[in-house]
Amino acid sequence: MKIFRVIRWLPILFLISVLVSGCADSMGEKMPDNTADTTGTTFGTEKETEKSSESQSDIISWFTADINDDEKKELLMITKDSSSAVMTLATGERYGTGLKIYSKFAILNDTPVPQGEPDYQFDLTEIKPLDIQAGDINGDGIAEIAVCVYKTAEFHPVPAKRPFFYDLKEGRLEPIWLGSRLSRPFADCILFDVDHDDIEEIISIEFTENGNKVLTVYDWKGFGFEVKAISNEIEGTVNFLNNTNSRADVVLVEIAGESHQLYLEEGEVIKCIKDY
């Protein structure tokens, strides 16, 4: 197995080349689920099942997680208004107008099928939501809602991607952290417990001033995030390979066409966590 070393700081951040036959779809701890079987079974008969009127073309991003500590997963969806045309950034990335949360849904062929009306829905038109995830970022045992938005900020008055975090409390979105920015402009970010402390970190692909990229890991520190580890600069394309619709077991990154597993190691000893 070829080892690709990228970090200057301790804890050490490593990327390990892996074969990714199916591992990008691996799930975290299985929970009692209110979804239908992913093989194609839905709830009851067609008469018993009230399907949502949500069009698949209106779904921008989706994620499943238990966000209210009821031991059942909810379906979180960033959607656009069905009457609106497709809205995109200059990069071609689509953004939506709102967040919808369903307690009853099915996942059929990797496609979300919400059932009935949403339990909650929120108008996010002004912040241009691009992506939805969820994870426990502050160690309270409950997954927070993470929305990647595209907007200006008071202390950074240019449009840019920004990670916003919320709790769902009494039917309201309660802000946890509305970040003005990360250390650098970023192309993408995911939530993952990379140091195995049962708290999710932000892992981002960020742009340097000379056009290269770095992978950066952020930890929650009470009132915001601080850098935990950062890679050396990387030339060429860098993309996450993870299934971004649910929690994964590993972080997989594609660098210049090669697949790598990312993890933290406290010392200089390089260990392969998992061989594919």
Residue with the larger pLDDT of the pair 132 and 24: 132
Q: What six digits make up the tokens of 272?
A: 């392969």
Quickly tell me which residue has 């689509």 as its tokens.
94
The model's pTM is 0.81
pLDDT digits over 177-223, tens only?
A: 998 889 999 999 999 998 889 999 999 999 999 999 999 999 999 88
pLDDT digits over 64-104, tens only?
A: 999 999 999 999 999 999 888 889 999 999 999 999 999 99
How far is the C-alpha of 148 from the C-alpha of 161, rounded, in Å? 6
Which amino acid appears at position 200 of this protein? E
Residues listed for the chain: 276
How far is the C-alpha of 112 from the C-alpha of 207, rounded, in Å? 32
Q: Exposed/middle/buried for 191, CB within 10 Å: 0-12, 13-18, 19+?
A: buried
Which amino acid appears at position 137 of this protein? I
Residue with the larger pLDDT of the pair 273 and 116: 116
